Structure 1
Amino acid sequence: MTMVRGLGAAVLVVAMLGAGCTTMSSARDRIVKREASCGDVTVDIYFEPDSAEVTKEGRAVLRAAADQAKGCQVDKVLVMGLADAAGAPGANLELSRQRAAAVTKTLTAIGLPVGDIDLSAAGQTGSVTAAGDNRPLRRRADVTLKLSTPRK
């Protein structure tokens, strides 16, 4: 019986020490500022058919990307608008331009410093598979934030 109590006491002490380590590390995290991870961030923003309006979900994705960029220097922003094969090629090219512009406007509105922007539009190029099937996931804009560690 004494051995069981001793073992129980040892387990309790180890558990308390483990809890103390967790508390210490979370307290340290609140005090010590961690360096921002300034690797490039790439996101896809999807659109409704025949629309260049950034959706609520798209704004949330862009906001999350901008949050990841906090503490980093934004060297360049690459935005490529895309479209599916539905409709005329010229109209799809214009729609993909509008999508790229709408994403850029949204990034500016949420406060991301977007000094050097490379906007491009692919229209419906590449939107049909070799079998002739339409790729609906082409209704998007591809966004890459080129980030680096800020100069001190």
Structure 2
Amino acid sequence: MGKASKGFTVVAMMATGLLGACATQGAYATRDALVDPVNCSNQTFEVYFDEGQARLTAAAREAISMTATRLAGCHVESVRVTGLADASGSAAANQNLSEQRAQSVREAMAATGWPAPAIEMAAVGAEGARTGSVNEPLRRRTEVVVVASSPRR
């Protein structure tokens, strides 16, 4: 798979994840409707990475920014960022890569105004990343779980 094709796949997977997360709250006709914080509820999204990388893509930064904008008027109770890796490489290298991925997302979230002290990090390396003899490329991600409640007063 070429670089352009890989990039498109990552963006498509992220877009699918964002749309899937929004599907339970109804369809959005405009970007403003998507980022309007009328429904302060828990949010979950994933940030995907290229193999062996912890560097955020432009699409990943946009997903983080859009979620921050959407929750700007909400009370964010907690944020948990969990870094994962596929099963290629050593256990130590995968654990380190998972930690770097979680840190990259945490730093980007803090830069867009997320409450940095409230962001918890975890890294699980390649634990559970192999199905039979196949590496699971969807493990090359960071999961972000946001617990939010009604708008701040």
Which residue identity is paired with 2:107? Answer: K
Please give the TM-score of this superposition, normalised by the length of structure 1: 0.73
Give 3-state SS (helix, strand or coil) of 1:124's partner. Answer: coil
List gaps (5 residues or longer) in structure 1. 1-33
| Aligned twin of 2:138 | 137
- The one-letter code matched in structure 2 to 1:55 is T
Note the aligned Cα RMSD (angstroms). 1.5
| Amino acid of the structure 2 residue aligned with 1:140 | R
Tell me how far 1:44 sits from its aligned partner.
0.4
Who is 2:51 aligned against? 49
- SS of equivalent to 1:108: helix
Structure 1 position 87 matched with structure 2 position 84: no
AA paired with 1:48? Answer: D
Question: Per the alignment, do residues 114 and 134 of structure 1 end up closer, same or farther by CA in structure 2, a change over 3 Å counting?
Answer: same
Alpha-carbon distance in structure 2 between the residues aligned to 1:67 and 1:114 = 15
Amino acid at match of 2:78: K
Amino acid at match of 1:56: A
Q: Could you tell me how far apart the structure 2 residues matched to 1:107 and 1:47 are?
A: 16
CA deviation string 1:70-107 (max 9, x = no partner):
21011111000000011111000010001001100000
State the alpha-carbon separation in 2 of the partners of residues 118 and 70 from structure 1: 19
For 1:80 and 1:124, the matched residues in 2 are separated by 12
The residue identity in structure 1 corresponding to 2:105 is: V
**TM-score normalised over the length of structure 2:** 0.73
Q: How many residues align?
A: 118
* Aligned with 1:114 (options 113, 116, 137): 116
Whole-angstrom distance in 1 between the partners of 2:118 and 2:111: 16
Equivalent position amino acid for 1:138 in 2: R
- Higher Cα Rg: structure 1 or 2? 1
Contact 1:82 / 1:139 at 8 angstroms: preserved in 2? Answer: yes
Q: Which amino acid aligns with 1:116?
A: A
State percent identity of aligned pairs: 38
